[in-house]
Chains A and B, each alone.
Chain A
């Protein structure tokens, strides 16, 4: 029963990746995994607020959402981005497998491909954003798209569509950027040989995070680009 009995001396043969307050590696990995899932739940609720704002605003201004989305969002760019993210999810999943099996040679390239695809995603987003900003399609008071009178602006509210658009894709984009940072960090650790079959929880967790970011985009894409 007294698994941890005897302090440091008896623990000399403990797994070096095992923290002192866990009984064994199994318990530790289990705890880490559960912590990550809870974090993802938290993320979902965070985005939930944005989706709720979307639903309300679309409910108030159905025509606006239809018109603005059709006129100003290019579904082809959105589709390319969707493909980029979905593929990156695949390479991420493969990277996790490589780490679990200790296949160091595959791990770094797979992570690199994932990161590159993420950068492609952000590049296209950058292109889309600058295009909109150029056209004055901005949130709230910064909206300068068409010469609407103040009354018309309130009734038609194109600025609200762009508020929702920028908030949702902005927060999502921020998550992609954080993901790129995390994947870069993983690559750095991997080149040092620190991620292997004895220590892959971190790869696992970044993987889960990445799938969530992907999943949220899967919802954003139809809600924003494919409104019919």
Chain B
């Protein structure tokens, strides 16, 4: 493998796979828990996020098991309500929002910029611990009566009627918001003020453009949910009445507040995923990304327009028809930059030298799944069809396609792509590829039938249903168990590679962005001296030879 030393970064020791690296430079549990090293913080985030994914996932298995039969036989209705609420809250607030930025993003952002750390390392550690603290609240609700409001906490149910530890859950989500804001703030400043010499905005890897756009949303949208949850906590404790109709307040106002954050936040989940895919598709097809500026610009456009379309969640809330029409129109608008990305990725593959490895499999899997998720969003954005589809399994299928299929598949892609960099080990490609097929088939079997059930009228959030839907629900349950199995296999081979895996070469994929210039795994301070960026992140050697 030819070393990619085109960016002028000299390795003083010439040692690209050093014995002393960030993993073993210092020892002991405290050297991890109190570390200021963005790489260790990223790894801790990854571990924690995956643990919560396991908790949320096990609850989901319970939900799917209940839905295997039309009768409500496994759990009572009340228990079922608590299960889907906690499943949703854990998956959204603890898993999907921080999934890519806080874990993978933390790890690679300073490396991609040729820097020693993020701008505010202490703040970075603080946001990790704030995350853990907030998560503690959510976990505590699990053993303290649970909540059954749904992750959307609609008033007046959440303020007046719901039993259980609503306040605890709200407090947890409130605290988690600050972790998200601080990460976003840190990333924005780092990208603005700390780039390698020569690294202009047009030489930024698209992952960083995506993280940048994400961070902007985190800083601008999260405070709004914070104040919303804050008011709701007081609504619940003191009945202040702002959202409570029996006190003269307005429950629809709550929905506006809630979706003003919660729509943009879907882009917090999915923009980093776009970033990952832009990297992997280019690196693994050995071709310069198609439409660099278009992809970068569409990330920013999505972030901006994403703030104007929250009302598409409220077509049936009693907002005026004109308002609905405007929101509908703008929602269609956001599909345009999304489509630009999709077309650019496909065009990147054209005449590329595609590597059929695990990372590429997941990349293509992502594109397929996200395409379905995005297109079904348009059905929901059309007011006339949404009247039928709102609150059915169609919506459930839609957002699982974009969130789980989008964000989660991209997270898996990212973990595989940067695994050698993070751990210094290679995983087994053959098992990786087989597992992909299991995951892909299991995934689609889980969620595609839900579209059908939804169009036929199956409502969401019910623990019983009429027998007509049984076949779709059974397919879905079977699919979900296959999918779950594939994730356990993945966990298995990844852990196996840590101990038995082949030592990774310094740049196994032959990528040219700066994170591959440094040692694998990186040394504690990332680089000896400052690297200088002379090449774009997608200027592969082969291309120049041809040209």
> A residues engaging B (CB < 8 A)?
1-6, 19-23, 27, 30-31, 34-35, 38-39, 41-43, 45-50, 52-53, 56-57, 60-61, 139-142, 153-155, 157, 159-160, 163-164, 166-167, 171
**B44 CB to nearest A CB, Å:** 19
In the assembled complex, which residues on chain A have CB atoms less than 8 Å from the CB atom of B234?
A: 139, 167
- Whether a CB of chain A sits under 8 angstroms from the CB of B532 is yes
Give the number of residue pairs across the A-B interface with Cβ within 8 Å. 139
Partner of B530, one of A1, A57, A142, A166: A1
Across the interface, which residues of A come within 8 angstroms of B246, CB to CB? 154
Contact check: which of B188, B194, B230 meets A27 at CB < 8 Å? B194
Shortest distance in angstroms between A41's beta carbon and chain B's nearest beta carbon? Answer: 6
Q: Is the Cβ of B189 less than 8 Å from the Cβ of A45? A: no
Q: Are B249 and A160 in contact (CB under 8 A)?
A: yes
Cα distance, A22 to B121, chains bound together (Å):
11
B226 interface residue per 8 A CB criterion: yes
Q: Are B247 and A140 closer than 8 Å at their CB atoms?
A: yes
The secondary-structure label for the interface of chain A is helix
Closest partner residue, chain B, to A43 (CB atom): B223
B residues with a Cβ closer than 8 A to A are 110, 115-117, 119-121, 123, 181, 185-186, 188-190, 192-194, 197, 219-224, 226-228, 230-231, 234-235, 238-242, 244, 246-250, 253, 257, 525, 528-530, 532
Contact B242 A34 (CB under 8 A): no
Whether A60 pairs with B250 at a CB distance below 8 angstroms is: yes
Known: A21-B117, A42-B185, A49-B227. 13 other contacts (CB 8 A): A1-B197, A1-B529, A3-B530, A4-B116, A4-B529, A5-B530, A19-B121, A31-B189, A43-B223, A139-B241, A140-B239, A140-B240, A167-B240
Cα-based distance from A205 to B248 in the complex (angstroms): 41
A146 and B176 alpha carbons, distance in the complex (Å): 40
Within the complex, what minimum Cβ distance (angstroms) separates B490 from chain A? 34
> Chain A contacts of B219 at CB under 8 A?
38, 41-42
Known: A20-B116, A30-B193, A35-B120. A57 touches B247 (CB 8 A): no
Q: Does A163 contact B242, Cβ atoms closer than 8 Å?
A: yes
A-B contact pairs, 26 of them (CB 8 A): A2-B529, A2-B530, A4-B529, A21-B194, A31-B190, A34-B189, A34-B192, A35-B189, A38-B189, A41-B219, A41-B220, A42-B219, A42-B220, A45-B220, A52-B257, A139-B241, A140-B238, A140-B239, A140-B244, A140-B247, A153-B248, A157-B247, A160-B240, A160-B241, A164-B242, A167-B231
Q: Which residue of A lies closest to B218 (CB)?
A: A42
Q: Are the CB atoms of B220 and A34 closer together than 8 Å?
A: no
Nearest B residue to A138, CB-CB: B238
Which of A39, A159, A171 touches B185 (beta carbons < 8 Å)? A39
Contact of A141 among B123, B189, B222, B238 (CB under 8 A): B238
User: In the assembled complex, which residues on chain A have CB atoms less than 8 Å from the CB atom of B249?
Assistant: 57, 160
